């Protein structure tokens, strides 16, 4: 990069993104309440969750984290609320060992807090390949949070107590005694019972520890913050100042930048970005030091993990676990696997024009005869663009339309919307590679950055393999906010009689209060106890749970 351009970029006073907001506290400190569709699972399963945001925070995006007993993160998702509720899922890795994991929910603004109460919902995980399991580490009960029952206000009345496999269950849920202004909705669930998870599991309390990252005071609204850190190559040392560019290849009009301080941290706000997408990070400094930019995901840290103790498993508990593993194997063998697309990128374009504004000129190369390289293209088709190569060094100069003279510095160069800082990349591009060229022969401002002209190439091939030639860049796949999907057991119709039905969750929905409700659901081929539960949040912020047991024989 030309020294003058670097001085123009980094010598200016940059107005770094400013985040304003405040952490909010509620009756349970966080105002977040998490419910899951099951208390146990087999490795490889998908666990669904609902989170209610019951506080006054302006944030409507929640983070849900799955961690092991030592609070090492296994998986995490970001979910936007609809109203006060967020519903999503977490895949349990097939390789996850048997043990008790914990799910917790938090807001981005919580990451900087120390000592905040964190509620961790237990999830008993059984590895489907591990049949011999004599003992298990389970949570010690001193950290367990007690739940109230509201038995005087809620009733659960199934049409009978004992059922056959695949039989239809009808249940009357008495909610008429609950005023909707106190509790608007409850979570009603019917699922197979694991006695160990039912007795030893539940909600456990811990205290938060502040993140090592520098967290801006910001509340996520309709989007989330992508954070990371810039360091010198092969070192943990951060430069005094760097400019980080963020590009999204699947959204070529998106471009943003951040100017780091001496701590090296950067933050980008991605509004309504959903699914999984590719991101390109490029970090540059005035002295052309080789830099690397790494993403640091938002992780809730705690001061002390939940206390655990050994529990010897009884033979019925071992048999139950093995039956679950067998059911999972048979389900995969006989039924079409329920899958959720891994790559489902969506991000509304905020503007109808590129980040660099309207181009003065646009050239579609298919309208002209074929030219072998960019030198010929610039000479024949791009009036006002001068591309020269001498002694192996390529330079690009743009005509300053207003001054009728060439700029002394390089223009801002982009390929497929991604900034480019090495001119040698352009030399090999010919008409067979380039779809169109857009360029502007005047000064353009992008935030606090000034560029002496714009030169943007859009290639016919969208693979972006050319990125391997770029310095100081990081190409990575980023999980964005989770798309909306429906749990398998809610979307299934009546099972075919000639195929096994091995569901362990039969019903899981939000139900309005204020009047009695009737629900019904079909059972599966699995035998054992089924628990019908009604869960919610009382007016004083306490979680309540009422349940009724039926049996499948």
- Per domain, the residue ranges of the chain are 32-210+301-345+484-552, 361-464
Q: Contact 236/284 with Cβ under 8 angstroms?
A: no
Q: Over range 40-48, report the average pLDDT.
A: 94
Q: What is the pLDDT of residue 137?
A: 96
Number of Cα atoms under 13 Å in the Cβ half of residue 341 = 12
DSSP string, 405-457: EE-SSPPEEEETTEEE--THHHHT--TTTEEEEEEEEEEEEETTEEEEEEEEE
| Whole-angstrom distance, CA of residue 532 vs CA of residue 513 | 17
Q: Over range 223-245, report the average pLDDT.
A: 92
**pLDDT tens for residues 247-280?**
998 887 889 999 999 999 999 999 999 999 889 9
| Whole-angstrom distance, CA of residue 523 vs CA of residue 489 | 11
Q: What is the pLDDT of residue 253?
A: 80
| Biggest distance spanned by C-alpha atoms of the chain | 90
Q: Contact 183/539 with Cβ under 8 angstroms?
A: yes
* Structure tokens that stand for 412 in this block: 């801002």
Q: Over range 206-229, report the average pLDDT.
A: 90
* pLDDT score of 513 more than 70: yes
Q: What is the pLDDT of residue 227?
A: 94
Q: What is the pLDDT of residue 229?
A: 94
Lowest-confidence pick of 1-10, 238-247, 395-404? 1-10
Top pLDDT among 367 and 10 is at 367
Strands 117-126 vs 40-42: parallel, antiparallel or unpaired: parallel
Q: Contact 534/187 with Cβ under 8 angstroms?
A: yes
Q: Please list, in sequence order, all residues whose beta carbon lies within 8 angstroms of the beta carbon of residue 170, skipping any fewer than 6 positions away.
A: 158, 159, 518, 519, 520
**pLDDT tens for residues 386-433?**
999 888 889 999 999 999 999 999 999 999 889 998 888 888 899 999
* pLDDT score of 477 more than 50: yes
Looking at the domain that runs over 361-464, which CATH code has it been given? 2.170.130.10
| Whole-angstrom distance, CA of residue 250 vs CA of residue 269 | 17
Q: What is the pLDDT of residue 341?
A: 66
| Whole-angstrom distance, CA of residue 440 vs CA of residue 384 | 9
In degrees, rounded to 5, the angle at the alpha carbon of residue 216 between the alpha carbons of residues 255 and 292 is 50
pLDDT interval class at 29 (50, 70, 90) = low
Share of the chain above pLDDT 70, in %: 91
pLDDT interval class at 23 (50, 70, 90) = very low
Average pLDDT of the chain?
87
The alpha carbon torsion through 129, 133, 139, 141 (nearest 10 deg) reads 140
| Whole-angstrom distance, CA of residue 340 vs CA of residue 90 | 11
What letter does residue 180 receive in the DSSP assignment?
T
Q: What is the pLDDT of residue 197?
A: 96
- 442-476 core/surface letters (b: 16 or more CB in 10 A; e: else): bebeeeebebbbbbbbbbeeeebebbeebebbbbe
Q: Contact 36/47 with Cβ under 8 angstroms?
A: yes
**pLDDT tens for residues 291-313?**
999 999 999 999 999 999 999 99
Strands 543-552 vs 162-163: parallel, antiparallel or unpaired: parallel
pLDDT interval class at 329 (50, 70, 90) = confident
Strands 168-174 vs 135-139: parallel, antiparallel or unpaired: unpaired
**Is residue 320 within a helix (H) or strand (E), and if so which, with residue range?**
helix 315-334
Q: What is the pLDDT of residue 260?
A: 94
pLDDT interval class at 487 (50, 70, 90) = confident
pLDDT interval class at 146 (50, 70, 90) = confident
pLDDT interval class at 11 (50, 70, 90) = very low
Q: Please list, in sequence order, all residues whose beta carbon lies within 8 angstroms of the beta carbon of residue 383, skipping any fewer than 6 positions away.
A: 361, 399
What letter does residue 365 receive in the DSSP assignment?
G
pLDDT interval class at 545 (50, 70, 90) = very high
Q: Over range 26-44, report the average pLDDT.
A: 82
Strands 40-42 vs 73-80: parallel, antiparallel or unpaired: unpaired
Closest CA to 4 of 323, 394, 330, 397: 397
Closest CA to 381 of 434, 328, 302, 452: 434
* 547: β partners: 533
Lowest-confidence pick of 111-120, 463-472, 481-490? 463-472
* pLDDT score of 21 more than 60: no
- Which bin fits 392, alpha (ψ -120 to 50), beta or left (φ > 0)? left
Ranges assigned E (strand) in 250-384: 255-259, 265-271, 276-284, 291-295, 301-302, 308-312, 361-364
Q: Write down how long the chain is.
A: 553
* pLDDT score of 24 more than 60: no
Q: What is the pLDDT of residue 4?
A: 41
* pLDDT score of 9 more than 60: no
**pLDDT tens for residues 56-101?**
778 999 999 999 999 999 999 999 999 889 999 999 999 999 999 9
Number of Cα atoms under 13 Å in the Cβ half of residue 78 = 26
Closest CA to 155 of 514, 535, 546: 546
* pLDDT score of 234 more than 70: yes
Q: Over range 313-328, report the average pLDDT.
A: 91
Alpha helix segments (H runs only) across 52-122: none
Q: What is the pLDDT of residue 272?
A: 94
Q: What is the pLDDT of residue 20?
A: 29
Q: What is the pLDDT of residue 5?
A: 40
């Amino acid at each position: 990069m030309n020294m003058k351009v670097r001085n123009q970029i980094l010598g200016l006073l940059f107005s770094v993104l400013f985040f304003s907001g405040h952490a909010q506290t509620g009756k349970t400190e966080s105002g977040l309440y998490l419910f899951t569709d099951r208390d146990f699972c087999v490795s490889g399963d998908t666990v669904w969750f609902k989170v209610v945001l019951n506080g006054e925070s302006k944030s409507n995006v929640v983070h849900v984290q799955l961690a092991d007993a030592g609070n090492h993160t296994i998986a995490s998702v970001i979910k936007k609320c609809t109203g006060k509720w967020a519903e999503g899922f977490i895949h349990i890795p097939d390789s996850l060992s048997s043990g008790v994991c914990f799910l917790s929910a938090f807001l981005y603004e919580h990451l900087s807090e120390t000592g905040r109460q964190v509620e961790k919902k237990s999830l008993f995980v059984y590895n489907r390949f591990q049949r011999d399991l004599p003992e298990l580490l389970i949570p010690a009960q001193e950290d367990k949070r007690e739940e109230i029952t509201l038995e005087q206000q809620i009733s659960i009345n199934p049409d009978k107590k004992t059922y056959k496999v695949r039989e239809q269950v009808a249940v009357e849920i008495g909610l008429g005694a609950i005023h909707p202004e106190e509790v608007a909705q409850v979570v009603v669930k019917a699922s197979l019972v694991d006695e160990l998870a039912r007795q030893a599991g539940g909600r456990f309390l811990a205290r938060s520890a502040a993140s090592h990252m520098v967290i801006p005071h910001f509340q996520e609204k309709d989007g989330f913050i992508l954070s990371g850190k810039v360091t010198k190559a092969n070192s943990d040392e951060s430069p005094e100042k760097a400019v980080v560019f963020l590009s999204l290849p699947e959204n070529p009009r998106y471009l943003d930048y951040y100017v780091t301080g001496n701590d090296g941290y950067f933050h980008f706000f991605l509004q309504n970005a959903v699914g999984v997408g590719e991101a390109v990070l490029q970090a540059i400094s005035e002295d052309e030091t080789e830099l690397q930019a790494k993403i640091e995901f938002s992780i809730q840290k705690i001061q002390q993990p939940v206390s655990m103790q050994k529990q010897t498993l009884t033979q019925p508990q071992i048999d139950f676990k093995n039956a679950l593993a067998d059911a999972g194997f048979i389900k995969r063998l006989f039924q079409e696997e329920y899958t959720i697309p891994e790559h489902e990128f969506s991000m509304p374009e905020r503007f109808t024009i590129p980040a660099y504004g309207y181009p003065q000129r646009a050239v579609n190369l298919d309208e002209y005869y074929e030219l072998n390289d960019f030198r010929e293209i610039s000479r024949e088709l791009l009036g006002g663009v001068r591309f020269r190569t001498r002694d192996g060094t390529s330079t690009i100069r743009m005509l300053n339309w207003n001054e009728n003279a060439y700029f002394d510095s390089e223009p801002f160069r982009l390929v497929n919307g991604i900034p480019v800082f090495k001119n040698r990349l352009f030399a090999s591009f010919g008409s067979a590679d380039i779809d169109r060229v857009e360029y502007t022969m005047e000064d353009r401002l992008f935030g606090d950055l000034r560029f002496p002209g714009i030169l943007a190439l859009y290639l016919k091939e969208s693979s972006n393999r050319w990125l391997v030639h770029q310095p100081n860049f990081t190409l990575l796949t980023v999980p964005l906010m989770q798309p909306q999907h429906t749990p398998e057991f809610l979307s299934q119709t009546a099972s075919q009689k000639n195929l096994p039905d091995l569901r362990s969750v039969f019903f899981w929905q939000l139900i309005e209060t204020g009047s009695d409700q009737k629900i019904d659901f079909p059972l599966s081929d699995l035998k054992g106890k089924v628990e019908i539960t009604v869960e919610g949040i009382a007016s004083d912020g306490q979680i309540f749970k009422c349940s009724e047991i039926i049996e499948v024989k």
